[in-house]
Amino acid sequence: MSADHLYPVPPAVAQHAHIDAPRYQALYQASISHPEQFWAEQARRIDWMTAFSQVKQTSFDTEQFGIQWFTGGQLNVSANCLDRHLAERAEQTAIIWEADEPGSAIHISYRELHAQVCRFANVLKQQGVVQGDVVTLYMPMIPEVVIAMLACTRIGAIHSVVFGGFSPEALSSRIGDCGSRIVVTADEGCRAGRRIPLKANVDAAIELLGDRSVNQVIVVRHTGADVAWDARRDHDYDQLMSRAEAHCPPLAMDSEAPLFILYTSGSTGQPKGIVHTTAGYLLYAALTHETVFDYQPGETYWCTADVGWITGHSYMVYGPLANGCTSVMYEGVPNYPDITRMAQIIDSHKVNILYTAPTAIRAMMAQGDAAVQGADGSSLRILGSAGEPINPEAWNWFHQTVGQGRCPIVDTWWQTETGGIMVTPLPGATALKPGSATRPFFGVRPALVDNEGQLLEGEAEGNLILLDSWPGQARSIHGDHSRFIETYFSTFKGVYFTGDGARRDADGYYWITGRVDDVLNVSGHRMGTAEIESALVAHQQVAEAAVVGVAHDIKGQGIYAYVTLNADVQPSESLRIELIQWVRREIGPIATPDCIHWTSGLPKTRSGKIMRRILRKIAAAEYEGLGDLSTLADPAVVDHLINEHRRIS
Ligand code: PRX
């Protein structure tokens, strides 16, 4: 089947969908021609405490840069996600929590979640947290992380969730960057039967921070493991909760008050603390969640993303809860204890909408149909994919095997910085092409430019940019607003540059081709090559390192590291293992290099710039067509690299 095979909208889906094809056309046009009117109308889905006076004041021009939505308005995010549902659906399950080990699931109703959030908001207040403080959450996938996030929003504190797979080093730099004095964590996390020493990692991170340090740590006793305890700093979550009051009024927050910081990787070494604000983010998350997944009241929805990434924020927490949805939250990994686990969870909770990542789909596909062996799967209605390009083979497998040929797949393109889904099919409106993210969401104006910034019309391939603002857009990089403007709005003047390349076909469908900068996407985890390089060169015996991505069957991209050792050091198997461990320790297991290529030299221009284009080609064994080598300081390096690569592979 060709990648361009067209899957029309199933009539049964179109009939009951929120948005069908004519409505998509009409609403999209309206959202582009009259954005203020369109978004004012959409803003009714928010419960406002004070009405806004202006919808949109935005400029991407670096001279008069500014992004403000719904100015003058006030709201509270936790009230929108909880309190307003109490009248109608207090007893409805908000979260179905499924533990790492099969067989134990917990249902938490909106009423219970509301009560827990209010209590924890009071706990935070008692610990001295006030509006505008940053609270770091380093948590496993357990309901307490959702409680902590919403509790922050209730009192106007800003959360910074750090993925539980990051090392103490990575955690400490993220705590240090946002100046957070309080961390919420758990004794341990559980993944695939293994224990993750979260509290010990927090202790190590605080040690690394020295006197800029954290003075409060709240610990959820999740596994009950014995952990080191500093009575002056560490607090037991349950003890604090048992003493806290269950009543906590939600604070009225300005539309543009910061809601959270989320660190993500860019092309430079230092992760960026992306700042999202209150009203626009919540509205965009809620609207996209409802329309992109065609969520209908009463349905059960499962987003498999970890809460440490933006997908977990927007589509496990804020979008679904704002819409009063019942969500599955799963602690573990898709293939534990075996490859049928996802199908088992779908059947046991009658999941209607499944949102996952290509890497999970490919891991299942690698085992033929075993992933759905013995499963019913009839509850599924809509499938979704995000985080990396989905290859047509994986798309077709997902569609046939998991979706039984019946369920539309929404391949959603977006980024940490966009806050919500940007280019995507809508199940009732868009005919699908495997591998294409298809068309823009309401209010989104994508375009393609060449490297000189010239707009490309019609069928074309180029750099993906966005011409105008949308409410869910990030507003800044924490502590470095000029880096924000520089990174996203300066490469091409007056527009937002995504860092992605894309192709637009004759039907106007977008096909994301991947990053055009030095950012890798490994199993849907975004990582800067510079971060991995700086971890490698921090090792005493490494002189120089260059990291590139290389195609990987399951992970999408693997990490290929060229390493030059100090003159007196010989490469060895034990050093290879040591370096891999070293990177895992510096960043976390997600950054584990797949290949270490020992080399005596890297291809550099005469001005000393490493030519990554050449390194990418050699890693992919594409020895021909390396392009212009005349600017290399030492062209002989290329032959050495090719010979070394031949020996490795
Ligand atoms: O390269 C694009 C890829 O993931 C990047 C954003 O990663 P992150 O900030 O972690 O946000 C993930 C939100 C899903 C993008 O720049 N990407 C994301 N979705 C897709 C994708 N690439 C292709 N197709 C997608 N659907």
pLDDT 10s digits, 422-472: 999 999 999 999 999 999 999 999 999 999 999 999 999 999 999 999 999
CA of 527 to the centre of ligand 1 (A): 11
- Would you say 578 is a known binding-site residue? no
526 C-alpha to ligand 1 centroid (Å):
8
Q: Which residues contact 526 (CB under 8 A, 6 or more apart)?
A: 264, 265, 416, 519, 520
- In this structure, the chain runs to a length of 649
* Tokens matching residue 54: 């202006």
10 Å CB burial of residue 19 (0-12, 13-18, 19+) is buried
Closest CA to 326 of 293, 349, 355, 359: 349
Assigned token pair, 281:
């983010």
413: Cβ below 6 Å to ligand 1?
yes
Helix and strand tally (H, E) in the chain? 21, 31
Give how far Cα 252 sits from Cα of 283, 348, 430, Å: 16, 39, 39
Is 232 labeled as ligand-binding?
no
Task: Give the atom of ligand 1 at the shortest distance from the alpha carbon of 423.
Answer: 26
Q: Give distance in angstroms: CA of 515 to centre of ligand 1.
A: 9
- ipTM rounded to 2 decimals: 0.99
Structure tokens at 461: 């391939």
Does ligand 1 have an atom closer than 6 angstroms to the CB of 518?
no
CB-based contacts of 41, cutoff 8 Å, min separation 6: none
Task: State the distance from the centre of ligand 1 to the C-alpha of 64, rounded, in angstroms.
Answer: 29
Looking at the CA of residue 309, tell me the nearest atom of ligand 1: 10
Burial 367-400 (b: 16+ CB within 10 A, else e): eeeebbeebebebbbbbbbbbbbbbbebbbbbbe
515 lines ligand 1 (CB under 6 A): yes
* Residue 436 is labelled as binding a ligand: no
Return the HEC string of 370-436.
HHHCCCCCCCCCEEEEECCCCCHHHHHHHHHHHCCCCCCEEEEECCHHHCCCCECCCCCCCCECCCC
Which residues, in sequence order, are CB contacts of 478 under 8 Å at separation 6+? 177, 178, 261, 272, 273, 274, 275
Going by CA atoms, what residue is nearest to atom 15 of ligand 1? Answer: 415
CB atoms within 10 A of CB 413: 28
Positive or negative torsion for Cα 393, 397, 400, 406: negative
Ligand 1 centroid–CA 311 distance in Å is: 10
Nearest partner of 138 among 166, 119, 96, judged by Cα: 166
Query: Would you state the pLDDT for residue 630?
Result: 84
Residue 349 CB less than 6 A away from ligand 1:
no
Quick one: pLDDT at residue 4?
Answer: 62
Is 128 annotated in some ligand binding site? no
Dihedrals φ, ψ of 355, to 5°?
-120, 115
pLDDT at residue 433, rounded to an integer: 98
Rounded distance from Cα 386 to ligand 1 centre (Å): 6
Ligand 1, atom 4, lies closest to the CA of 387
Ligand 1 within 6 A of CB of 527: no
Q: Are strands 105-109 and 93-98 parallel, antiparallel or unpaired?
A: antiparallel
**CA 321 / ligand 1 centre spacing (Å):** 23
470 is in an annotated binding site: no
Distance CA 197, CA 242 (A): 25
CB 489 within 8 A of CB 64: no
Contact 77, 278 (CB under 8 A): yes
Determine the residue type at 242.
S
Nearest residue to 382 via CA among 289, 316, 444:
289
194 known ligand binder: yes
Distance between Cα 521 and ligand 1 center (Å): 8
**What DSSP state is assigned to residue 251?**
P
Helices 573-586 and 168-178: crossing angle in degrees, nearest 10, is 30
Q: Which of 549, 520, 523 is nearest to 620 (CA)?
A: 549
Side chain identity, residue 22:
P
Q: Is 415 annotated as a binding residue?
A: yes
Which pLDDT belongs to residue 423?
Answer: 98
Among 543, 538, 590, residue whose Cα is nearest residue 563: 543
Which of 467, 420, 416, 641 is closest to 546 using CA atoms? Answer: 641
- Any ligand 1 atom below 6 A from CB of 437: yes
Atom of ligand 1 nearest to the CA of 412: 26
500 CB under 6 A from ligand 1?
yes
Predicted local distance difference test score (pLDDT) of residue 287: 98
Nearest CA to ligand 1 atom 6: 415
- The response to whether 221 counts as a known ligand-binding position is no
Query: What is the three-state SS of 550-575?
Result: EEECCCEEEEEEEEEECCCCCCCHHH
Is 192 annotated as a binding-site member?
yes
Contact by Cβ (8 Å): 403, 395: no
Tell me: is residue 414 an annotated ligand-binding position.
yes
Q: What is the pLDDT of residue 2?
A: 44
Q: Which atom of ligand 1 is nearest to the CA of 525?
A: 10
Q: Which residue ranges of the chain lie beneath pLDDT 70?
A: 1-4, 211-212
Q: Which of 190, 201, 239, 263 is nearest to 477 (CA)?
A: 263
Q: Collapse the DSSP code of 285 into the 3-class scheme (helix H, G, I; strand E, B; otherwise coil) and give the result.
A: helix
First to last CA, the chain: 31
pLDDT digits (tens, 9 = 90+) for 612-642: 999 999 999 999 888 888 888 898 999 999 9
Q: Is the pTM of this model over 0.80?
A: yes
Phi, psi of 175 (to 5 degrees): -65, -45
Residue 445 to residue 312: CA distance in whole angstroms: 25
387 CA from centroid of ligand 1 (Å): 4
Q: Is the CB of 415 under 6 A from ligand 1?
A: yes
Annotation-wise, does 599 bind a ligand? no
Cβ of 386 closer than 6 Å to ligand 1, yes or no, is yes
Going by alpha carbons, the residue nearest to atom 14 of ligand 1 is 387
Tokens of 276: 């999202």
- For residue 209, the model assigns a pLDDT of 94
Tokens of 12: 């049964």
**Residue 48 phi/psi, 5° resolution?**
-90, 145
Q: Which of 614, 6, 93, 558 is nearest to 351 (CA)?
A: 93
